[in-house]
C-alpha cells in the first residue's frame, strides 16, 4: 500500500530504448509490396479508426465502438497519390484471436477490399503483383510546372483582360515542384518585402520562375548585369541583399550540370 510513497523514483522517467517499427517478416513483406506497387503509397500499421467510422445512433455504443477501432490496426493500407484507399493487406497468424466485431466483416460492410496472406508463408513480389495487378498499373505522379499551372488558371478567363490575368497568375499561382522554392518560402526569405514593394515586376517574374530552379538562377544572376538592352541604374543595397538571399536558397535545388569533356590531343595517337 505504501510502496508508491517509499519509491523515490516513482516520478522519474522510465528508461526506454528504440525498437524496430516492423517485425522481420513484416519488413520483408513491406519491401516486396513496394517492389510490386512502386507508384502507390503504403502505410504500415494503419489504425482501423483512420479508415472506419462507426454509424451508430446510440452515443454510448458509438463511443465504445470507436474505442474498439482505436485499439486495432491494419497491417498495411494501400493508397494512391491522392490518398484514396485502394485496399488493405493483412498478414494472418495461424491462431487468430476471436474478435467481438471481426475486422474482416467490418471492412466488408464498409466496401473496403481486404487481401490476406499467412505470415508463415509470405508471398513473393511476383505473387503480390499478380494479386494486386490493377493497382500496379497506376501512373506515377507527375510534377507540374509553373507554366502548366498558369494554363489551368487561364482556362476560363478572357485573354483580352491582360491585367486581370497577370494579377491572378502572380497572386494565386503555386507551382507543384517539391524540389524548388515555394512561394511561401520566397516570402520567408524576404520578410521585409523590399523587392515586392519597390520592384513588383521583378517579384512577379521571381514567383513565375520559382518552380524551375535553373531558370530562376539565371534570372536572379541577370539582375546584376548592367549591360542589358534596357539600362538599369542598379539595385539598391537592401533590394540586392534580398536577391542574394534568394540565390543562396535556390542554389540548394539547382542540379549541377555535367562538366564539358576535356579534349586530349594525345588520344588520336594512342
What are the domain boundaries of the chain? 24-136, 146-250
Q: How far apart are CA 200 and CA 245, in angstroms?
A: 17
Query: Smallest Cα–Cα separation from 75: which of 48, 53, 37, 56?
Result: 48
Strand locations in the chain (E):
41-47, 73-79, 85-92, 114-118
Query: Count of alpha carbons within 13 Å of 124, Cβ hemisphere only?
Result: 3
Hey, which of 52-61, 146-155, 174-183 has the most confident mean pLDDT?
52-61
- Residue 105 has phi, psi (to 5 degrees) of -70, -35
Task: Return the residue matching grid coordinates 525498437.
Answer: 19
Residue 228 has pLDDT above 60, yes or no: no
Answer yes or no: are the C-beta atoms of 37 and 127 closer than 8 Å.
Answer: no
Residue 184 has pLDDT above 80, yes or no: yes
Q: How far apart are CA 178 and CA 19, in angstroms?
A: 31
DSSP for residue 228: S
Q: Which residues are 115's β-sheet partners?
A: 89
Sequence-distant (≥ 6) Cβ neighbours of residue 154 within 8 angstroms:
165, 168, 169
CATH number of 24-136: 3.40.960
Q: How far apart are CA 139 and CA 38, in angstroms?
A: 9
Q: How far apart are CA 100 and CA 104, in angstroms?
A: 12
Q: Give, in order, the Cα–Cα distances in Å from 3 to each of 8, 13, 97, 179.
A: 10, 18, 36, 58
Q: Give, in order, the Cα–Cα distances in Å from 58 to each of 21, 24, 49, 229.
A: 37, 42, 18, 75
pLDDT band of residue 94 (cuts 50, 70, 90) is low
pLDDT band of residue 195 (cuts 50, 70, 90) is very high
Query: Smallest Cα–Cα separation from 186: which of 243, 253, 238?
Result: 243
Query: Smallest Cα–Cα separation from 76: which of 59, 96, 91?
Result: 91
Q: Which of 102-111, 207-216, 251-260 has the lowest mean pLDDT?
A: 251-260
Q: Greater confidence, 49 or 139? A: 49
Q: Greater confidence, 177 or 117? A: 117
**Residue 151 parent element (H or E):** helix 146-154
Amino acid at each position: 500500500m505504501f510502496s508508491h510513497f517509499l519509491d523515490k523514483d516513482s516520478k522519474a522517467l522510465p528508461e526506454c530504448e528504440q525498437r524496430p517499427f516492423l517485425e522481420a517478416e513484416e519488413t520483408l513483406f513491406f519491401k516486396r509490396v513496394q517492389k510490386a506497387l512502386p507508384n502507390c503509397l503504403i502505410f504500415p500499421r494503419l489504425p482501423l479508426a483512420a479508415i472506419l467510422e462507426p454509424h451508430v445512433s446510440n452515443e454510448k455504443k458509438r463511443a465504445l465502438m470507436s474505442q474498439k477501432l482505436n485499439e486495432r490496426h491494419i497491417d498495411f493500407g494501400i493508397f494512391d497519390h491522392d490518398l484514396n484507399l485502394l485496399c488493405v493487406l493483412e498478414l494472418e497468424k495461424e491462431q487468430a484471436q476471436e474478435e467481438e466485431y471481426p475486422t474482416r466483416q467490418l471492412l466488408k460492410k464498409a466496401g473496403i477490399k481486404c487481401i490476406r496472406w499467412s505470415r508463415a508463408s509470405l508471398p513473393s513480389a511476383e505473387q503480390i503483383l499478380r494479386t494486386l495487378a490493377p493497382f500496379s498499373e497506376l501512373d506515377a505522379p507527375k510534377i507540374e510546372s509553373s507554366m502548366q499551372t498558369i494554363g489551368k488558371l487561364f482556362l476560363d478567363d478572357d485573354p483580352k483582360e491582360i491585367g486581370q490575368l497577370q494579377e491572378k497568375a502572380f497572386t494565386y499561382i503555386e507551382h507543384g515542384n517539391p524540389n524548388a522554392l515555394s512561394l511561401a518560402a520566397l516570402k520567408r526569405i524576404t520578410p521585409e518585402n523590399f523587392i515586392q514593394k519597390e520592384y513588383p515586376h521583378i517579384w512577379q517574374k521571381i514567383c513565375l520562375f520559382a518552380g524551375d530552379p535553373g531558370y530562376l538562377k539565371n534570372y536572379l544572376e541577370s539582375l546584376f548585369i548592367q549591360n542589358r538592352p534596357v539600362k538599369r541604374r542598379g539595385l539598391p543595397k537592401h533590394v540586392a541583399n534580398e536577391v542574394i538571399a534568394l540565390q543562396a536558397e535556390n542554389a540548394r535545388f539547382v542540379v549541377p550540370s555535367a562538366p564539358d569533356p576535356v579534349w586530349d590531343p594525345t588520344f588520336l595517337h594512342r
